Structure 1
Amino acid sequence: MPSTQKALVVTEVGKPVTLITDWPIPEPGPNQVQVKVTVAGLNPHDAKARDYGLFIIRDLTPAIIAGSERGIIDLPCILANDAVGRVTKLGPGVTELAVGDRIVYQPSFAIGSKQNGLQEYALADLGTLTKIPDSVTDDEAATLPTNIIPPLVALFDTLRIPAPWSAAAKDFDYAGTTLLIVGGGSNCGQFGVQLAKLVGIGRIVVVGGDEEKLRSFGATHVVDRHGGYEAVLSRIRDIVGDELVYAYDAVNPLEGQLLALNALSSAKRGVLARLLPIGPVDESRVLGKTAGFEVRDVFGSSHVFPELAGEFWKRVPGFLETGEIKPLGYVVKEGLVADHVNEVLDAYRDGERVVKTHIHL
């Protein structure tokens, strides 16, 4: 095997990714495998990384973006936290995989990570990966990591609903629980519905998205997101009354998060898990919460939540084979081509509607 490879690299924040041909091929360490990447999936955070330094500039403040020397800047950097490939080398201590196994994994967000997908060979850590069943394609598997781990963390860590394999599960009343999911049309929203159905949550109330698809995933109620804030809030309250204590917002910045917060119970202390932790909400606009409420931030990383994610990844093949987890939609672009990646990231940047795009290496 050669010592270098092709990769698409961010060399400067705010500039397009570029192709280089002499990127080092990484060697696996303990509890790691080397992977020949077949599919790398792009997501909105990749555009924010390229354009604004998300996960690249580690003290992401206006001063840093303007060029201050403070903080850590992780450049050059490879993008794509959805990755599928075949195992090519085993690191020390790896016994549960073999060379040739087809796996899907979530790369690390850590500084200097050698795991991201837009390179011919990458590394993957045990506990953040799983073998892909024969009945599932590479592309179907690649729809999972970036979009299923955030709702997994949101439901079973941030909101503290017990994971179904945990000891606490036997005493939790899933059937008597109501969950509100805002942003049902998003990939993280759709997987959130599936996870809620998987554990048997009794009322899964979803705002936005395709009603037929969401009901097929397990939603019990799908709320039309049109007509203005007050109308949507009224529709939600007509369903949940004053009983809602669990809410998950998969899409909204601060202004939009007020919808879920005001849908929470007044008499019972409620919790919102949010995927966009971009600052404090205006609590003066959260009305009538006599029991109080909490806003908790979600960081959807298998590496940050190794116990939860590890137990989940062990079970993913079974969930896929039974249909308890259904892959989402995608489109394909062939080849490790900079223009292909930049076109997708430009579309995310410009607010265009983007179908999840997979780069075939």
Structure 2
Amino acid sequence: MTPQRRQRRSRAGAAVLVFGFISGYCAGTTAAAMRRARSVRRTVRELDGRRIVHSASDAILSIDEHAFILFANPAAAHMFATSVSAMQGGSLSRFIQSTGREARSPLDYFPAGAGRAGRRATDYAVTGIRANGQLFPIEGSISRVEQDGQEICTVILRDVSERHLVQQKLARSHDQLRQLSSALQTIREEERTHIARELHDDLGQLLASLRMDLTLLQRSNGLPEPGRHLIEGMESNLVTAIASLRRIATNLRPRALDEGGLYFALQGLRDEFVERHNIACILMADENELRLDDSASTAIFRIVQEALTNIARHADATSVVLNLDRIDGELLVTIRDDGRGIRAEDMEKAASLGLVGMRERVWAMDGEISISADEPTGTRIDIVLPLAERTI
């Protein structure tokens, strides 16, 4: 090989070495740059995540498998009236009330069955403990992940003390409205009874006395013919007035309730319903099973009366069945018709005061009522009334 060729080969080899060094250097620099970029992105994500967690309005805790707190955000410290440093490293038992005697893992504090109705299985409702020992209601969710072979639970908490207070106030208001409704029903029945007795005893006796006087006048001799016709017209009007008076008094307070009891009052109600509306009505009941005190008898009579009124006005029915059975200290009342049936929206109408009144009377007796469309057609009302201490 000539010296010129050896020189050219040497220069080519050096060029290859230089190119390889530059390529390797560039490749290494690129890989390092990519690693640095990934590290920066990861750091940015972690910083963003920490900022989000620290600024979150909900309390967030990370808990290890032994129920020790690994991380707590400022919202959690504020919720429990303490500091982040006081929470981190501490036991969860200092801040969440355990549902069992020994709670060793996070799931012991949030057991199955503690979830809220209609919520996901990961949701729960437990009791929190503030730093001063005050207990308060908490709702939230729990999730689990595995990190470095260890199970970590992340818990998101919400203080629902204000919501519970509002719910308690609503419940108290609801109870007060129920009590007011029951008191108004009682006052209304007392006023009806008083007016009915006044009409029957005072005005009824006065009209009866006038009719007797007219009868005596008709029997006397020497009355002119025009006078006799006038007395006959007066007697006819008087008879109509007495019948109207009895009807009004009966609508206010059926005398059968006081004189014969609930069974005979229901019989009279059934007969009047059939006569007035021409709708067949069957009463299936035992007189001995309906010997109840006055308040229970009145409530049941009014419930059945309202049901029959609704049937006559809205059902377009041709027959009705009333069934009253007494079983194990409870009275089961079933009212069925073969009309057009009731719709769900009909039961929720604000103007359905008859249904509201029926429900209020049933609830005032601590009973249960169900109103639904019957099969194959019509409406069915099922009522269960406890009769403890209501029998006479």
Normalising by structure 1, report the TM-score.
0.22
Higher normalized helix content (fraction of residues):
2
Q: Which has the higher contact order (CA 8 A, sep 6+)?
A: 1
